[in-house]
Structure 1
Amino acid sequence: MSTPLVPITENTFILPLNGNLTDERFEKITETVISSINISRADYLILDLSGLGTFNENTLSSLTTFSSVQEAVKSFQKN
């Protein structure tokens, strides 16, 4: 299952998450997010969680990683 990163403005993307968020799928999504943020220099990432099939502690841990990833990429881009 692919997860598109949809631009809604020049510096804002929305990431709709559907189904179950497995570790393997999370890795692929993270790669997509990092690549897209690097290319677009996006400032904001909106997570649409309305389609998630399950929501547990592992899911929550994975989702909080997106914030850290975005901060790290933005910090790297400034240097």
Structure 2
Amino acid sequence: MRNYYIVLSEKIIVTAKIDGDSSLLRRQLFYIRAAKLEKSLDSDDLRKTFWINIYNAYYLIISKESTDNITIYNLKRIKIARS
């Protein structure tokens, strides 16, 4: 059985790569519970895969919205588990 959070992160990055609307997927990411995420990502490989996918997806999303490459690194845009 595939890990829900890994699948979600993969869907977000694929949608970002094709320049699709990822707002529903990002909303799911916002409403997850931190404890469930932590429990589900129980190995280093799962944690690395999830966070690398999320970082790359948000970089793609933000870089398409912003023309200034410097502000990409200064914006706090990744909202996970209501934070």
User: Aligning the two structures, in what range does the TM-score lie when normalised by the shorter sequence?
Assistant: 0.3 to 0.5
Structure with greater contact order relative to length (CA < 8 Å, sep ≥ 6): 2
Which of the two has greater helix per residue? 2
Which of the two has greater strand per residue? 1
